[in-house]
Amino acid sequence: MKISTLTTGSGTQPRGVGRYAWYVLVVLTLVYGFNFVDRYIFIIMMEPIKLDLHLSDTELGLTSGLAFSLVYSLSGLVVAYWADRGNRRSIVAVALAAWSGLTIICGLTRSFGQLLISRMGVGITEAGCSPPAHSMISDYVPSQQRALAFSIYSIGLYIGLGGGFAFGGWIGEQYGWRAAFIAAGVPGILFALFVRLTVREPERGATETAAVDAARYTTREALVYMAKRPSFVAYMLGSSLFVFAGAAIDSWAPLFLMRVHAEPPGQVGLWTGVLGSSAGLCGSISAGWIADRLSVRDQRWNLWVAIGGIAVVVPGTLLFLFAPVHTVMLFYCLATFFNSFYMPPTIAITQKLMPVRMRALASAVMLLGYNIIGMTGCNFVIGYLSDLWADSLHVDSVRYAMAVTQLAAVAGVVCTIYAIVRMPRDFREAFAG
């Protein structure tokens, strides 16, 4: 399938990002922060939840990984189809209110089954955030500034990390893990109303300087289009494997510090929240700034930036796991800084290369890989191996389970380099007459 029915965008050359566009970007970044607060509260409270509900590490991994990420990713495809046709602003606002309400319900659960179902509900509704938000950002921000825009948007992850770890850890230590979930849900419901009243739906393709594809595609046509671009499939798989490797320190570092180094939840939450959010914020901005400048010559530099980040994450994670206790937070900061490098440039290049009416679905496909291969795969593997090795390695079982996951980064680099080599051919064919 070739790109068809070309029309011009707004008809004018974008000169930069206007004030209102920056405002929308900030609002969407805060929504993205709410998208992660409950996830990081779950992470920082995994040990108390395990003890209270009598769970195994495998059950923790399933609840934080499979139960959440599987339904999140599959629901994202449905939301993306809606977002490529409907009002994206309203989708984001309704989804925010829904997942905030379900986060409160997570705090009321009394068994593994109830918690599992509640987390699945949160996953379904949180899928309403990124696909429509990515598409909106692309219509507010010109292509030459999109990597930076997506790096700013990615800061929401680290806002959620800081809030979930530091605030959630403190609330959980003082009042219990249930109170932490309830405290996280209420502000999101109020902010959803604010989003609905103050954010405008942008014109599709408004910031494009070249001809844009105005055709509507069925989901099948769009998925076939993507599947026929081996470079897209390869870098989607590659970056998903980067997520697999990076999720070890992102999702399991607090439990590792509490279990192996016997640190209290409040202290772990404070240090990982403050240091992790600061390192991730700086890394995300750096990745976007670097990618925007290098990709002016060649869009594939976005992928080289992602590779450069994971090349530091792996040794940083291994040093965090095996270095003396007084240096572990230094390596936590190093790994978290570079762990933020993969998402902004890979989302930016996807939004640049895909037709306007496929952008939300393309983001959903990317997130499908990130969550099914990356988060779900990593959390299950670490949980399973930690349980498997517990009798012989005791508390160190989680240390070695986390270390094993770093092998995925090697396969991810191979896939991404293949995408870099293949991409010119794929998109010459796509834009051929």
Task: Give the DSSP letter string of 285-347.
Answer: HHHHHHHHHHTTT-TTHHHHHHHHHHHHHHHHHHHHHHS-GGGHHHHHHHHHHHHTSSHHHHH
Give the range among 1-10, 113-122, 134-143 with minimum mean pLDDT: 1-10
The amino acid that residue 52 corresponds to is D
Q: Could you give the percent of the chain with pLDDT greater than 90?
A: 50
Over the Cα atoms of the chain, what is R_g? 21
Q: Are 219 and 26 in contact (CB under 8 A)?
A: no
pLDDT confidence tier of residue 214, bands split at 50, 70 and 90: low
Where is 425: in which H helix or E strand? helix 408-430
Q: Could you give the percent of the chain with pLDDT greater than 70?
A: 92
pLDDT confidence tier of residue 17, bands split at 50, 70 and 90: low
Structure tokens at 320: 């965090």
Q: Are 378 and 247 in contact (CB under 8 A)?
A: yes
Taken as a whole, the chain contains a residue count of: 433
Residue 48 burial (10 A CB sphere; 0-12, 13-18, 19+): middle
pLDDT confidence tier of residue 207, bands split at 50, 70 and 90: low
pLDDT confidence tier of residue 80, bands split at 50, 70 and 90: confident
Q: How far apart are CA 94 and CA 98, in angstroms?
A: 6
Q: Is the pLDDT of residue 183 over 70?
A: yes
Q: Is the pLDDT of residue 140 over 80?
A: yes
Q: How far apart are CA 333 and CA 207, in angstroms?
A: 36
Give φ, ψ of 275 to 5 degrees: -70, -40
Q: Is the pLDDT of residue 218 over 90?
A: no
Q: Are 77 and 371 in contact (CB under 8 A)?
A: no
Q: Is the pLDDT of residue 188 over 50?
A: yes
Q: Is the pLDDT of residue 14 over 60?
A: no
Q: Is the pLDDT of residue 310 over 70?
A: yes
Confidence at residue 367, expressed as pLDDT on a 0 to 100 scale: 85
Q: Are 343 and 210 in contact (CB under 8 A)?
A: no
Mean of pLDDT over the chain = 87
Confidence at residue 9, expressed as pLDDT on a 0 to 100 scale: 39
Q: How far apart are CA 265 and CA 283, in angstroms?
A: 25
The average pLDDT across 276-294 equals: 91
Q: How far apart are CA 332 and CA 263, in angstroms?
A: 15
The amino acid that residue 280 corresponds to is G
Strongest mean pLDDT among 31-35, 49-53, 72-76: 31-35
More confident residue, 372 or 195: 195
Confidence at residue 8, expressed as pLDDT on a 0 to 100 scale: 34
pLDDT confidence tier of residue 63, bands split at 50, 70 and 90: confident
The average pLDDT across 230-236 equals: 94
Q: Is the pLDDT of residue 4 over 70?
A: no
Give the range among 19-28, 158-167, 356-365 with minimum mean pLDDT: 356-365
Q: How far apart are CA 266 and CA 45, in angstroms?
A: 10
The average pLDDT across 360-367 equals: 86
Of the candidates 144, 142, 153, the residue with the CA atom closest to the CA atom of residue 206? 142
Q: Are 320 and 253 in contact (CB under 8 A)?
A: yes
Other beta carbons within 10 Å of 113? 10
What domains, with CATH codes, occur in the chain? 14-206+217-430 (1.20.1250.20)
